[in-house]
Amino acid sequence: MPVDTSAPPQESARDRAVGAGRRADLDGLRGLAIGLVVVFHVWFGRVSGGVDVFLALSGYFFVGSLLRVTESTAALDPRPVLRRVSRRLLAPLVLVLVAITAAQVVLTPPTGWFSTAEQTFASLAFLQNWHLARTASDYLAADPSVSPLQHLWSIAVQGQFYLAALVVVFTLAWALRRRGVPTRVPLIVLLAVVTAASFGYAAFSSASQTWLYYDSAARLWELTIGGLLVCLVPWLRIPRWAAAPLAVLALVVFLGCGAVLDGRAQFPGPWALVPVGAALVLVVTGVSQTTAVSRLLASAPLVRLGSIAYALYLWHWPILITYLIVRDRLTVGVIGGFGVIALSLVLAEATTRLVEDPIRRGTPSRARTALVAALTTVGVALAAVSVGWVQYVDRSARHIADLPSLSAEVYPGAAVFDTYSDPVDAPVQPPLMVADRDLPATTLEDCIAVHGQRDAVTCTYGDPTASRRIVLTGGSHSEHWLPALDLLGREHRFRVDTYVKVGCPLSDPLTPLTEDSVTLDCDTWSKNVLAELAADPPDYVFTTSTRPREEGEGPGDYTPGWYVALWETLTSYGSDVLAIRDTPWMKDDGIPYRASDCLARGGDAYACGVARTEALDAVDPAQESAAHLPSVHPLDLSDVVCRAERCLAVEGNILIYRDRDHLTTTYVRTLAPELGRQMRAVTGWW
């Protein structure tokens, strides 16, 4: 990583002139990049820019190998390239995926295996980046709740690029050979156009940053700019007096960009030019002449590190996540970090020597054939098992449709707080394996704006014909109250219109919307929703009123000032606000966890819950924040979610949480009576 998928070139004077020969300084640059990736992941929880450099170098190596074929008299046969790329990429990948799967089966409960199975198959199919984009996974600091396969998004991007580049370059070369036209110049034009288009998309797209981070189209320019460079190398020369200082400057920029830039929030946009540009300068200055920097990069330790870069990239992240799972910690620490790195290096060295090198460099033999066959068989079996488990869970999820008809006597849920008696023993519902599928209608009916979607998407629930109207708006923590509001609306004849968006509490943007704002996606959506609410004010706006305190700020919850500013804006529209207190978030010493996982490990409802004082202040913070706004009415259902001292994982045989912080739809339905009592006191509608 980057993976050198080309056949070892036969170096000649002409090869050296065009950069085709083996350059030790580029191996060292690859080693430096993987070193930065590992160190930043292990200790700093930041994006170093190393992966962006990997992508650029992958484009440089792969397009260079294809160009050498097209400019020779060799047949334009893609099969040898496909075989070479497949063996080079898949052999170590399969080995690591088997180890990850085994570790997940041993260390995590069955409730977590579905995600592992999904991502394992996605990784084998080189689609992991799209899976993560679809599920909106954040790629930042490691913790035990993060997937050990998350880092494989970049391998997927490379695999997709290799296939596309092979088809495009060989097709172009075939068409040009028939006319006796050399390939290089037309390829330069094509790569320049693709690079500009991809860069423009990454810089100016309205899609969310999380989506763009994994989007192959947004990442493409980082690969094609490397391919463009290898095509231009014969004409690129830097004066002797400028090469050395430029190389030093590029090295300093590359080493420091991870500490200065927030790559997770800024890459692959224009700021990604910093690490990628620095790497390309190092490539060009090394072509022109030998400098002190190129000698440093060509040093034995960095070259060796570069030779195991792919295997080290594959191993370091799952080892880090496994360490955090086993130690049940949020951070790895200094000593633990050195242990993670040491084990990663050992496994990377072993994988390179025993798997990569025999397949990549070895001559055809029975041993090599047997190794490839064994890994292929294991890979196919792993894919089959992954697909089988996903299908099994999907079939189990069909029972979710039966949950609304559960017996109220056996499954009272929140009603136990009225009777203060425990129901008869019964299996917990929804089933732990598919609890995350117990979702509100807005999600099931695609009526929630997703990342990158900024329009004010709306649907109607409750009694659509009623004149009385409540608007449910905000993020998913507002959305999960819909099942109770829907029941109340149909019973008491009021309409419920929804304006919800994933990860976006409604806000009133006080600053101009700019393209470089990290909250542009949410702010634009909020502005569009507020415009609709101003044009047609509802009787009440139902939205969340509190948030959990950030890590390091102590236990409990609080009301942000920007919530209050929103309430003031809604009041000016003529709407009252039903401000619902947010539910407790499941955390253990700051580490998020799912109650279903805890229960699947054998824990009980009490042990798998959270102390009330850890999750909630003694008094709803919204009461004080809204004291000056008579049109804002705080609602607090904490006493039918939590007991006096602890918020349990299960009440009345119903699982309360579908994940770390969202209520199951089944439990929310049982909250409708208490929510109705509090709303009746405010609205007087029934």
- What residue ranges do the domains of the chain occupy? 50-236+309-388, 406-683
Q: What is the pLDDT of residue 21?
A: 58
Return d(Cα 234, Cα 17) in angstroms, integer: 6
- Looking only at the bridges linking them, the beta strands covering 576-580 and 540-544 are parallel
What is the edge-to-edge ordering of all strands in the sheet holding 632-635?
A: 459-462, 495-500, 469-474, 540-544, 576-580, 632-635
Q: Quote the tokens at residue 383.
A: 């894919």
Q: What is the pLDDT of residue 663?
A: 96
Q: What is the pLDDT of residue 335?
A: 94
pLDDT in tens, 134-145: 886 444 444 566
Before 268, cis peptide (omega within 30)? yes
Before 245, cis peptide (omega within 30)? no
Contact indicator for 525, 454 with CB cutoff of 8 Å: yes
Q: pTM for this structure?
A: 0.86
- Whether the pLDDT of residue 171 is over 60: the answer is yes
- Whether the pLDDT of residue 211 is over 80: the answer is yes
Return d(Cα 675, Cα 655) in angstroms, integer: 19
Cα angle at 485 between 484 and 489, to 5 degrees?
Answer: 120
State the DSSP string of 231-279. HHGGG----HHHHHHHHHHHHHHHHHHHHHS-HHHHTTSGGGHHHHHHH
Helices 366-396, 78-107: crossing angle, 10 deg rounding = 50
Sole residue written with tokens 């066959």 = 373
Q: What is the pLDDT of residue 459?
A: 97
pLDDT in tens, 618-655: 999 999 999 999 999 999 999 999 999 999 999 999 99
pLDDT confidence of 553, banded at 50, 70, 90?
confident
Architecture of the 406-683 domain: 3-Layer(aba) Sandwich (3.40)
Q: What is the pLDDT of residue 431?
A: 94
List 542's β-bridge partners, or say none: 472, 578
- Whether the pLDDT of residue 531 is over 60: the answer is yes
Among the listed ranges 85-89, 362-366, 382-386, 416-420, which one has the minimum average pLDDT value? 362-366
Question: Residue type at 453?
Answer: Q
pLDDT in tens, 113-167: 999 999 999 999 999 999 998 886 444 444 566 889 999 999 999 999 999 999 9
Return d(Cα 156, Cα 216) in angstroms, integer: 9
pLDDT in tens, 81-105: 998 888 889 999 999 999 999 999 9
- Whether the pLDDT of residue 419 is over 90: the answer is no
Helices then strands, each counted (H, E), the chain: 30, 14
Q: What is the pLDDT of residue 4?
A: 56
Return d(Cα 384, Cα 399) in angstroms, integer: 24
Q: What is the pLDDT of residue 564?
A: 96
Q: What is the pLDDT of residue 14?
A: 36
470 SS3 class: strand
Taking the CA of residue 399 as centre, how many other CA atoms within 13 Å lie in the half-sphere pointing to its CB?
12
DSSP state of 658: S
CA dihedral sign of residues 205, 210, 215, 219: positive
Q: What is the pLDDT of residue 559?
A: 96
Contact indicator for 569, 508 with CB cutoff of 8 Å: yes
pLDDT in tens, 295-314: 999 999 999 999 999 999 99
DSSP state of 656: S
Q: What is the pLDDT of residue 163?
A: 95
Provide the mean pLDDT of the chain.
Answer: 90
Q: What is the pLDDT of residue 18?
A: 37
Element (H, E) at 655: strand 654-655
Q: Quote the tokens at residue 405.
A: 């008809």
Among the listed ranges 27-31, 279-283, 552-556, which one has the minimum average pLDDT value? 552-556
Nearest alpha-carbon partner for 440 in 597, 666, 244, 655: 666
- Whether the pLDDT of residue 22 is over 90: the answer is no
Contact indicator for 649, 600 with CB cutoff of 8 Å: no
Q: What is the pLDDT of residue 516?
A: 61
